Amino acid sequence: MPGLQDLTIDELADEFEFLGQWDDQCRYLIELGGELPDLALEEKSEANRVPGCQSQVWFVPQVHEDPAGTTIEIRAKSDAHIVDGLIVVLLTLVNGKTPEEILKTDFTAAFKRLGLEAHLVPQRRNGLYSMVERVRAIARVHAPTDGKHPSPDPFDAVNGSHTSSSSSPRTSETRAVRPSLPVAERAATFDVSAVRAQFPALHQVLERGVPVTYLDTASSAQKPQCVIDKEREVYEQYYANAYRGVYRYGDRISRELEESRERIRRFIGAESTDEIIFTPGTTAGINLVANAWGRRFLKPGDEIVLNEMEHHANIVPWQWIAQQTGAVLTYVPLTDDGRIDLEAFGKALTSRSRIVAVTGMSNVLGTAPPLTELIAKAKAAGALVLVDGAQSVPHMPTHVVQDGIDFLAFSGHKLYGPSGVGVLYGRRELLDAMDPFLCGGHMIERVQTDGFAVAPLPAKFEAGTLPIAQAIALGTAVEFVTDLGFCPVHEHEQSLLRHAWDQMHKIPGLRIYGPDTSHRGAIVSFTMDGAAAQDIAQLLDLKGVFVRHGHHCTMPLHTRLGVPATVRASFGLYNTREDVDTFIDALHFARRELKLS
């Protein structure tokens, strides 16, 4: 083996090819790393430390000025042999080169050639790209200033005290991808029996042979077999904690999580997976924004704009943060048919409006507010927009970039995915500027007894152990919905809604709340004169029809509607016209039992 200083990337590539298997290549990297000379103690300083690496890594650059030009030589060392091996690889691409050559080097291609892109676990790959960033920063400082490579303050990249992801390896260069086509634009046909066949819980048979008619999808959706299988696969085949172990199970888990994150990114049209934060659900996502953004940016007298139909999850966190910060809440009233009063919305916006928090679809009225119009008005007033996508994301296309959404929160369990996991999307600049919310493991880059530095996105907001199998299976759920296509799904759900709507209007004393079918998703909340909501729900259950009753976590809305409770039937992509007919028959049955007719 040639001395390290003479080793070339071609020789390394030959050796890797000769070894063939990752096991052997990995041992070779460790062996190479073992030969990397150590640095002096004083060189392992904070100023020389490379931020963004899981291991401790120090770079000591030397610049050689000679008549032929300026060349760079880096001596480096880490606290792990495998990382030292990666340093050796990296330095074959750097040492003895001019700054311009370094800046032109395609590091990714070189790493791919060795198979490193495929085999390194995500945190190690991120660490490697942090080193690349550091190398580039050093080269930029010494490159002739021709306007193309502005010379930054080298200490930006050196002192490591700044941990925003703009200096992380996850720059637009390495991670950001253009938003894909909105799923709604894909054409597909919809075969409801084939879809329904994939949901085992819908095929259970109750006592006396009564089938299940599940009309509570707005509360939580049933799961297709592929989602159930995926979660099971994780536990049975490769379960481990995520973003921690370099062993194979840990590596597989981290990759599967990143794949899920990427599917979700595409699904909502985000620019980068760094903007996709796994949370426990919608409630947790909104609390995160209210606390991490609100505490930092809301001042006394700033306005948080809500409306009367919001779920408690999109009211109470704001009430709480308003109490803490002195901000005030403004509630936009609803029209009598349960829509946001657009004129009142316009008037509610002032120069003090900081954020508009609005549902993508009401979980009671089914109202789908005209987000484009609301967002344009909010933006014109200088306010950010958070969309509570708990009900909308599973049923209609969302494209955060095209729609101009700043924050989007949604839950896996309503999206035909597992419970216990959800997503918060946030625009990168906003997430970068926010303080962390929960603190602990994984969200840090470095901890000392007297302080800590936060990790880059998305880890910054993912403290502690994630709901691992759930977050992975959420990616499967997203793929399931994406493959069906929102166009046919939406059309199917709307036809169920219209069928239910027509039949329900024929039932005496039944009152449906909210707008007509052209302004709502497939959710119908109603009351029947002379019957308590709970009694109706209970009697429907006798016929195997599962609906929810109560205030549905929207007490202010029920106050506005003037009723303490409603019964809600909500439809999902697996419901059929027969489900609607069974529901209508069951309503007639309830009326007879309650002697209403």
Instruction: Report, as residue numbers or ranges, the catalytic residues.
Output: 553
Query: How near is the Cβ of 307 to ligand PMP at its closest, in Å?
Result: 12
| Contacts of 54-57 spanning 24+ positions with Cβ under 8 A | 54/123, 54/124, 54/126, 54/127, 55/79, 55/80, 55/83, 55/127, 57/83, 57/87, 57/127, 57/130, 57/131
570 near ligand PMP, judged by CB under 6 A: no
Q: Which is nearer to ligand PMP, 182 or 422 (CB)?
A: 422
311 near ligand PMP, judged by CB under 6 A: yes
Q: Which is nearer to ligand PMP, 54 or 282 (CB)?
A: 282
Q: Which is nearer to ligand PMP, 12 or 415 (CB)?
A: 415
Query: How near is the Cβ of 519 to ligand PMP at its closest, in Å?
Result: 16
Which residue from 130, 168, 291, 363 is in contact with ligand PMP, where contact means CB under 6 A? 363
Cα separation, 497 vs 91, whole angstroms:
63
Q: Which is nearer to ligand PMP, 128 or 215 (CB)?
A: 215
Which residue from 120, 128, 313, 348 is in contact with ligand PMP, where contact means CB under 6 A? 313
283 near ligand PMP, judged by CB under 6 A: yes
Helix 486-504 / helix 577-593 crossing angle, nearest 10 deg? 30
391 near ligand PMP, judged by CB under 6 A: yes
Alpha-carbon 124 to chain mean position: 22
388 near ligand PMP, judged by CB under 6 A: yes
Which residues partner with 569 through β-bridges? Answer: 524
The answer to whether the bond into 458 is cis (omega within 30° of 0) is yes
Q: Which is nearer to ligand PMP, 165 or 282 (CB)?
A: 282
279 near ligand PMP, judged by CB under 6 A: no
78 near ligand PMP, judged by CB under 6 A: no
Per the listing, tokens 């302080």 go with 451
Which residue from 54, 95, 163, 282 is in contact with ligand PMP, where contact means CB under 6 A? 282
Q: Which residues of 237-252 are buried (b: 16+ CB within 10 A; e: fewer)?
A: ebebebbbbeeeebbb
Can you spell out the DSSP letters for 47-78? TTBPTT-SS-EEEEEEEEEETTEEEEEEEEEE
Q: Using the rule CB under 6 A, give the single segment among 2-10, 164-172, 308-316, 455-463 that binds ligand PMP.
A: 308-316
The dihedral region occupied by 381, where left means phi > 0, alpha psi between -120 and 50, and beta the remainder, is alpha
Alpha-carbon 313 to chain mean position: 18
165 near ligand PMP, judged by CB under 6 A: no
Per the listing, tokens 């998703």 go with 521
Query: How near is the Cβ of 120 to ligand PMP at its closest, in Å?
Result: 35
Q: Which amino acid is at 233?
A: E
Q: Quick check: helix, strand or coil at residue 273?
A: helix
Which residue from 80, 386, 390, 421 is in contact with ligand PMP, where contact means CB under 6 A? 390
126 near ligand PMP, judged by CB under 6 A: no
Which residue from 33, 61, 224, 281 is in contact with ligand PMP, where contact means CB under 6 A? 281
- Chain positions contacting ligand PMP, by CB under 6 A: 281-283, 311, 313-314, 359, 363, 388, 390-391, 411, 553
